[in-house]
Amino acid sequence: MPDAPHYSAGGIVALIVFGLLLLIPSGLCSGAIGVMAIWAAITQPGNGGEALSTLPMVAIVGGPFIVGGGAMLLAGIRRMRANRRNQGTSP
C-alpha cells in the first residue's frame, strides 16, 4: 500500500491563513450589502425591486471569493487532519 502524502506545515498554514483572509472580508462585505438591500426593500416598499436587484450582483461579485476562501480553508483543515492521522503510521 502506498504511503499517504505528508503535507508541509507551512503549506497548511498558508492555505488556512489565505483562506481566512479571503473568506472573512468577502463574507462580511457581501453579507452587509445583502442585509442593507433587504432592509431597503422592507423600509421603502416603492423601491423594493431596485433594492433586491442588488442581491444577484452581490452573489456574482462576492460569491467566487467566498467559495475560493472557503475551499482553501477546507483544504488546509483536511491536510492538517491527514497529517495528524498519518503521524502514527509513518516509520
pLDDT at 89: 59
In contact, 27 and 64? CB cutoff 8 Å: no
Angstrom distance (rounded) from CA 84 to CA 86: 5
Backbone angles phi, psi at 17, to 5 degrees: -65, -50
C-alpha cell at 75: 483544504
55 vs 90, which has greater pLDDT?
Answer: 55
Digit-coded pLDDT (tens) for 34-84: 999 999 888 888 877 888 888 999 999 999 999 999 999 999 999 999 888
Digit-coded pLDDT (tens) for 4-28: 677 888 999 999 999 999 999 999 9
Q: What is the pTM of this model?
A: 0.81
Across 22-43, b (16+ Cβ under 10 Å) vs e yields: bbeebeeebeebbeebeeebee
Name residue, grid cell 492555505. Answer: 15
Predicted confidence (pLDDT) at residue 88 exceeds the cutoff of 80: no
